[in-house]
Amino acid sequence: MRFLSDNAARVHPRVWDALRAADAGDAPYDGDALSARLDEAFGALFEREVAVLWVATGTAANCLALSAMVPPHGGVVCHREAHIEMDEGGAPGFYLHGAKLMLAEGEGAKITPGAIREVIDPIRDDVHQVQPHAISITQASEYGRAYRPDEISAIAGLARARGLGLHMDGARFANAAAFLGVPAAEAAGDVDALSFGCVKNGAMSAEAIVFFDPALADVVRYRRKRAGHLQSKGRFLAAQLLAMLDGDLWLENARSANAAAQAIAEGASERLMHPIEANEVFIRLTPAERETLRGAGYQFYDWGADAARFVAAWDSDLGEASTLGQAIAAL
Amino acid sequence: MRFLSDNAARVHPRVWDALRAADAGDAPYDGDALSARLDEAFGALFEREVAVLWVATGTAANCLALSAMVPPHGGVVCHREAHIEMDEGGAPGFYLHGAKLMLAEGEGAKITPGAIREVIDPIRDDVHQVQPHAISITQASEYGRAYRPDEISAIAGLARARGLGLHMDGARFANAAAFLGVPAAEAAGDVDALSFGCVKNGAMSAEAIVFFDPALADVVRYRRKRAGHLQSKGRFLAAQLLAMLDGDLWLENARSANAAAQAIAEGASERLMHPIEANEVFIRLTPAERETLRGAGYQFYDWGADAARFVAAWDSDLGEASTLGQAIAAL
Amino acid sequence: MRFLSDNAARVHPRVWDALRAADAGDAPYDGDALSARLDEAFGALFEREVAVLWVATGTAANCLALSAMVPPHGGVVCHREAHIEMDEGGAPGFYLHGAKLMLAEGEGAKITPGAIREVIDPIRDDVHQVQPHAISITQASEYGRAYRPDEISAIAGLARARGLGLHMDGARFANAAAFLGVPAAEAAGDVDALSFGCVKNGAMSAEAIVFFDPALADVVRYRRKRAGHLQSKGRFLAAQLLAMLDGDLWLENARSANAAAQAIAEGASERLMHPIEANEVFIRLTPAERETLRGAGYQFYDWGADAARFVAAWDSDLGEASTLGQAIAAL
Amino acid sequence: MRFLSDNAARVHPRVWDALRAADAGDAPYDGDALSARLDEAFGALFEREVAVLWVATGTAANCLALSAMVPPHGGVVCHREAHIEMDEGGAPGFYLHGAKLMLAEGEGAKITPGAIREVIDPIRDDVHQVQPHAISITQASEYGRAYRPDEISAIAGLARARGLGLHMDGARFANAAAFLGVPAAEAAGDVDALSFGCVKNGAMSAEAIVFFDPALADVVRYRRKRAGHLQSKGRFLAAQLLAMLDGDLWLENARSANAAAQAIAEGASERLMHPIEANEVFIRLTPAERETLRGAGYQFYDWGADAARFVAAWDSDLGEASTLGQAIAAL
């Protein structure tokens, strides 16, 4: 009964089928027939022209996307607890050649135009201070919170007004979109590039960088190779992405994960630290309570001294999740 | 009848089996049971203690290995036509933070102690010139030539004498080892790190960086994450590597590829540009001759104006290769 | 009546004399006779063996020193308002190849072992989080506060215990040492490298990087050249540094500046935001009060909405400073 | 009788005067009155609008200029023996974040459109190979050869046709312009940025980066600070540059140096390795002959086994140079 994370979950059977079907030799790198279909497939999903590149990890997706928006001497505004700040081993420093992350505050690890302005307005426009060049938001956030379309619009408006690029880390974009119940285009809003996560959602090793500004993709093509992320058998990454889009598997899987998270949360409403808007559940639990749950066979991470994080995946068992919810309620 | 490259070949059935067997959820990143077995499995192959990290591409393997040997202000001696110089989109510049490749000459894209000294001896030991910190050799070379154990020893001796690290790009290490008919330990010799290639040899998306100096691995663990190359479902990369080692599949596949290359070369002995010591065949062919072969259904790359490169893969059909050899002989 | 900053002050006559005396041609770069005397001269001051390199700016001094302690994938703990974080245009990101500044809190822009531990203790020792490799403290701090010898000892002890390098930004080291009234060796304490500032203290364009661990200097020699900071006529930089040490001019100048700061502060004791331990005076002043002072001919910077910063330099007129103090008292 | 180099020569008296005149306090960094005059002063010299930034070294000037033209994943074409390739300690790798120098051949360390095309035409326009983004030429070249205006035009035409930036390393621009006898504008031609050297020509520590495309300067302002090259007392650098322009001191000094070089060469016409078009003289001399000259008190560098390099500076004594020429003739 593993609720540790969604990032080690199984690969969905339809992804396996797509992988096997891609076996027959084809052109190397991204010259294959499957990679060639990505722009159209994602364009249909997002209802506009896009340029799409596959990579193996969310860290690579985030940092490559940002590398096309931010010069080495620039900065990126993000939440203080954003994945790029906290959990990517300094990858933004590497990919952006020393550009600076500028940390904004915000409830639920979401940022607002106001929080962004609090960071950038005090920056004097002189060479002694790093100037912001982009904003990065996370959909869903590190605490499983979803940006509403109007919230994204407001940030995008600020970005445009200040001449800043806008990137969305969508490691759990699917979960946010499933929760919001809006088309993918609205869940992404007017960002310049989206890291469209699949690995946590049923794929094996493929994420999509969706460029709504295709000029950025032209730069990132070179940077992807330069980062060692252009795989020779790219057809296997493209196959995974297409399988995720086909029949909206991405949404179906996210709904399963979200439902399991809701089931866990149901028994814990008094203890919830954040509303459940994706597939993560943060619950106040004493050490003793955590021990009880672990004794009952549940696996999860501690979150500080008095809380725990449960993450449901596409393959989480809904029954197990409900039972967990009840076990929490019974504490 | 594709002899374009080995880097888009099919995935070997035993690798597929290993991938499927790895599906069940496990710890993320490299915390899984399969990743934990790599050091031992490669240690057995190389008959000494090693530390092994998986990555998805040869470019990442080469550059991460070198990044632990060379400071940003240093240099790496390699052949003028080495993959790191010619075909990695500037990845060494990225991973080594601007360190310099120092280009040596050598027949068949191999270098010798003499060629290395020609590069490094004229470098004044002052701050105006970049100082060498490592040597990188390629086994088999870009022209499919294998370093003999004594050749590697001689280079390793020079490296030690000058305090330089020694890296081996083994994208086609298996083909060289199969040709040499010596144990893996001798085909690698006394290098500090080896990029042990599997993708061209039957794997899907996994290469091993084998560190004979484990202290280097401790640095690269951080650098791999920082480069976005620490995949969440690392068990699938470990599974591929273990499958390649299991029952010496790596050697079996390389022998098949080498045999097909020999079969092609048999009909072309007069035209051969390089002895066949791996799975690549470089042949002098006029444009008209190339057109004839292409008309007969053979796919391959031009190599300059008057030559062509044929690459056999583990899944090349030996009959097709022989027929191609005969077709060349008949030109 | 300029109290804007000390960084545009005049050059001291004895520095001018030294510059003129250095005119006659000599060996280029740092091969000249004056540069050769630096290690000994600073060694005498600090009562231990040191290796000393000149550079033109404090930013270069700080970042070069740190570049020898921190790998690109590492981090540096410093105060949230440290110069390297706030005012160097992202230079640490450039020189350290994307390493991360880790921001600690602390009154008066000073940090303590406790504040450092609050930053580094929560960092999990895994590859997802950047690991600290050095600490940087500022003597005197951005608010003109001096670290006492025992405070430095405590930080140095923590640094040693955790295997971290320790750097001191001494842009105003002289002012701190003059205030503390202790030997230079005690004002620096057991740091690995010190940016010994001279430009704000009577020099034209020379700072010294004093390496108490000479192995660091060996690396920085290459990095200085690589950063374009190895001037051909280095003798003029060495000349300035030697002139500053000669007859303790560095201390004499700092005492003058400190005295002027004390004179300003005397009339403003109720308004002082920080004790005066160097040559900077931060005073609570309303906009109207600032206007009054400016109307009287005083130049200074606003410090937020309700305060002002006055900086005295070595050539500040003590009479003017006293009059300013009286003018503030009369507000 | 030093003919080792021009880079350690004395500072011209008129530069000293300008330095002393700049002593009085002013705004820090480049906010001073002298720095503010640079654009106009250089604009008058080059007969067009320019943006000018001071830095302390030629290495910084070259690399900062190029950093605004070349992304980290790009390349710069230059001569195999260019200063940026041979003598800057890898500074381009640092400033350009790992971009690649692409080495062209050419007599006298000059390159031609043909030589440039030989480098860039074979580069496939794909992500596996680094793409060129700029060209850098040196006026006068490493062997003291001057580009004629039509030669520069031809290179500039190629640069424009291929969308490449064009940079000129003018460490000895003055000597080339003096030799060519054309206006500065013609000696620079249609380049995007020029490193206008002064340190070798009578200044103490100031070079000008002249941007003919002012947008590049806007980027470099940030990069200069980030590299620690924005000096607080920038007025002293601006003063040097203005003094060099004033009354065409730059040209007068270069003529003196060139005349001395001609005087040396006069006695060595049979032995000259390159025509004298600036202030450097490369002469075939056996070890024994070199010993003879050194015995007579002449200082110079060996240039390989059978040659020597003599460099005349602005303050070289013409009589000494003539005597040296005669001594060579008498060998």
Together in a domain, D180 and D320: no
**C-beta of residue A257 within 8 angstroms of C-beta of residue A6:** yes
pLDDT digit string, tens, across residues C224-243: 999 999 999 999 999 999 99
Q: What is the pLDDT of residue A267?
A: 83
Q: What is the mean pLDDT of chain D?
A: 97
- Angle of CA points D253, D257, D261, to nearest 5°: 165
Q: Name which of C71, C128, C221 is nearest B225 (Cβ-Cβ).
A: C128
Rg (CA), chain A: 20
In chain C, residues with a C-beta closer than 8 Å to the C-beta of B230 are: 127
Both B278 and B164 in one domain: the answer is no
Residue at A4 is within a domain: no
Interface with C, mutate which of B70, B216, B226, B232 (most C CBs under 10 A):
B226
Minimum CA–CA partner of B64 in chain A: A228
Site of tokens 């008919």:
B181
| A223 plus A259 within the same structural domain | no
D41-84 residue pLDDT tens? 999 999 999 999 999 999 999 999 999 999 999 999 999 999 99
**C-alpha span between B62 and A227 (Å, rounded):** 11
Per-residue pLDDT band for B26 (boundaries 50, 70, 90) equals confident
pLDDT, position C244: 98
Question: Does one domain contain both B143 and B186?
Answer: yes
pLDDT number for residue A1:
80
Chain C interface, best mutation among B224, B225, B230, B231, by max C CB count within 10 A: B225
pLDDT single digits (tens) A203-239: 999 999 999 999 999 999 999 999 999 999 999 999 9
Identify whether residues B259 and B224 lie together within a single domain.
Answer: no
Task: Provide the number of structural domains found in chain A.
Answer: 2
Whether residues D227 and C91 touch (CB distance < 8 A) is answered with: yes
A56, A228, A313: residue with CB nearest B91: A228
- Neighbour-count burial of C235, counting CB atoms closer than 10 A to its CB (0-12 exposed, 13-18 middle, 19+ buried): buried
Both B212 and B132 in a single domain? yes
Q: Work out the angle between the directed axes of helices D214-226 and D58-67 (0-180°, nearest 10).
A: 120
Q: Do B7 and A227 touch (CB under 8 A)?
A: no
Instruction: Please give the Cα distance from D299 to D187 (Å, whole number).
Output: 31
Residue D313, min C-alpha distance to chain A (Å): 36
The verdict on C220 and C262 lying in the same domain is no
Shortest distance, CA C73 to any CA of chain B (angstroms): 7
| Confidence band for A199, pLDDT divided at 50, 70 and 90 | very high
Nearest CA in chain A to C94: A98
Average pLDDT over residues A82-110: 98
pLDDT of residue C269: 86
Mean pLDDT, rounded, for B234-262: 98
Whether the predicted pLDDT of D38 surpasses 90: yes
**pLDDT of A20 above 80:** yes
Q: Is A208 helix (H, G, I), strand (E, B) or coil?
A: strand
Portion of chain B with pLDDT greater than 90, in percent = 96
Indicate whether A174 and A136 sit together in one domain: yes
Chains adjacent to B (≥3 CB pairs closer than 8 angstroms): A, C, D
- Domain enclosing residue A47, as ranges: 13-249
Q: Quick check: B86 and D129 CB within 8 A?
A: yes
Cα gap A188→A190, rounded to integer Å: 7
Chosen for mutation from D2, D6, D57 (greatest number of chain C CBs closer than 10 Å) is: D57
Q: What is the pLDDT of residues A148-188, one digit of tens each?
A: 999 999 999 999 999 999 999 999 999 999 999 999 999 99
- Contact residues on chain D for B302, CB-CB shorter than 8 A: none
Q: For residues C322 and C302, give the distance between their C-alpha atoms in angstroms, rounded to a whole number.
A: 20
Pairing of strands B74-79, D100-104: unpaired
Residue D219's pLDDT is 97
In the chain, the amino acid numbered A115 is A
- In a shared domain, residues D222 and D280: no
Flag whether D3 is in a domain: no
Residue type at position B48: R
Closest residue in chain B to residue D101, using alpha carbons only: B100
The pLDDT-based confidence of B267 (bands split at 50, 70, 90) is: confident
DSSP letter, residue C82:
-
| pLDDT tens sequence for chain C (331 residues) | 889 989 999 999 999 999 999 999 789 999 999 999 999 999 999 999 999 999 999 999 999 999 999 999 999 999 999 999 999 999 999 999 999 999 999 999 999 999 999 999 999 999 999 999 999 999 999 999 999 999 999 999 999 999 999 999 999 999 999 999 999 999 999 999 999 999 999 999 999 999 999 999 999 999 999 999 999 999 999 999 999 999 999 999 999 999 999 999 998 888 999 999 999 999 999 999 999 999 999 999 999 899 999 999 999 999 999 999 999 999 9
Query: Are residues D73 and B88, on separate chains, in Cβ contact within 8 Å?
Result: no
For residue A143, what pLDDT band results from cuts at 50, 70 and 90?
A: very high
CATH classification of the domain holding A50: 3.40.640.10
Res. B269: pLDDT tops 90: no
A318 domain residue, yes or no: yes
With respect to residue A76, please indicate whether it lies within any of the assigned structural domains.
Answer: yes
pLDDT at A13: 98
DSSP assigned state of C136: E
Contact C57 D231 (CB under 8 A): yes
Query: Is C194 within 8 Å of C1 (Cβ atoms)?
Result: no
CATH of the domain at D320: 3.90.1150.10
Give me the percent of chain A exceeding a pLDDT of 90.
96
Dump pLDDT digits (tens) for B71-113. 999 999 999 999 999 999 999 999 999 999 999 999 999 999 9
Judgement on whether residues A205 and A159 belong to the same structural domain of the protein: yes
CA distance D209 to D194: 6
Q: Could you tell me if residue B6 is inside a domain?
A: no
CA C64 – CA D245 distance, rounded (Å): 33
Q: Which of C199, C214, C249 is the last residue of a domain?
A: C249
- Give domain status of residue A8, yes or no: no
Residue D88: list chain C partners with CB under 8 A.
225-226, 228
Q: Does a structural domain hold residue C287?
A: yes
Given D220, D249, D278, the domain boundary residue is D249
Contacting residues of A for C71, CB less than 8 Å apart: none
Of C98, C127, C129, the CB nearest to A98: C98
Q: Are residues B175 and B323 in the same domain?
A: no
Which residue of chain B comes nearest to A98, CA vs CA?
A: B97
ipTM: 0.97
* Helix extents (H) in chain C: 13-21, 33-36, 38-46, 58-67, 83-86, 91-95, 113-120, 149-162, 173-180, 184-188, 214-226, 235-245, 249-266, 287-295, 318-329
What pLDDT is stored for residue C283 in this prediction? 96
Residue at D190 is within a domain: yes
What tens digit of pLDDT does each residue of D193-225 get? 999 999 999 999 999 999 999 999 999 999 999
- Boundary (domain end) residue, out of C233, C249, C265: C249
CB contact under 8 A, A60 and B91: no
Query: Do D211 and D144 share a structural domain?
Result: yes
- CA-to-CA distance for C232 and A108, rounded, in angstroms? 55
C199 to chain B nearest CA, in Å? Answer: 25
Query: B75–D90: do the CB atoms touch at under 8 Å?
Result: yes
How close, in Å, is residue D202 to chain A by CA atoms?
30
Write down which chains contact chain D via at least 3 CB pairs under 8 A. A, B, C
> Do the Cβ atoms of A56 and B231 come within 8 Å?
yes
Strand partners, A284: A307
Give percent helix, percent strand, percent coil of chain C, each to the nearest 5.
Answer: 45, 15, 40
pLDDT at D25 over 80: no
Q: What is the mean pLDDT of chain B?
A: 97
E strands within D233-306?
Answer: 280-284, 301-302
pLDDT band at A330 (very low <50, low <70, confident <90, very high): very high
